[in-house]
Amino acid sequence: MQDDHELTEALKKVYHQQDSTKLDLEQLLQESSGQVHTLARMSSKKELLVRKVAALEVQLSALEQDRQGLSEQLTQARSVNETLENSLSEAQRHILQLEITKSQLEIQLQTVTQANELIQGESLMCFASLDPRGQRAFCSASK
């Protein structure tokens, strides 16, 4: 009987250990199930991040192409600006030369006008100093 009692106690102990192990196993199963769900979520998040990174790389590439195009346009604009500035400087020099020429021509015109007035005045004085017969002959010749 004692063997039966010992056997029963041993069996109770084994059942108790088996229940404890079963509870531990269920707890581990729940933990691993939670970890599987966590891993699945992390995997989904990683896939989403990979897609976002790919989209950002495409945007970055497009922006780099735009930047390159803008850089080329800036270079061209600077070249055009330099050409325009050179043309402006040349036009300003030409305008200055034309103003100098205009001033010289105005002085020459004034000189010619004064000389013409002087000649007309002298002609009138000469004409007035002629005797009446010469005046008539001069007047008929000038008509």
Work out the average pLDDT over 90-110.
98
pLDDT at site 79: 98
pLDDT tens digits for range 119-135? 999 998 888 887 666 55
**Phi/psi zone of residue 19: left (φ > 0), alpha (ψ -120 to 50 degrees), beta?**
alpha
pLDDT at site 139: 53
Work out the average pLDDT over 23-45.
91
Range of the domain at 137: 2-142
Which stretches does DSSP call E strand in 1-143? none
With a pLDDT cut of 90, the percent of the chain lying above it is 61
pLDDT tens digits for range 75-96? 999 999 999 999 999 999 999 9
**3-state class (DSSP) for residue 125:** helix
Rounded to whole angstroms, the Cα distance separating 16 from 29 reads: 19
pLDDT at site 10: 85
Tally the domains of the chain. Answer: 1
With a pLDDT cut of 70, the percent of the chain lying above it is 91
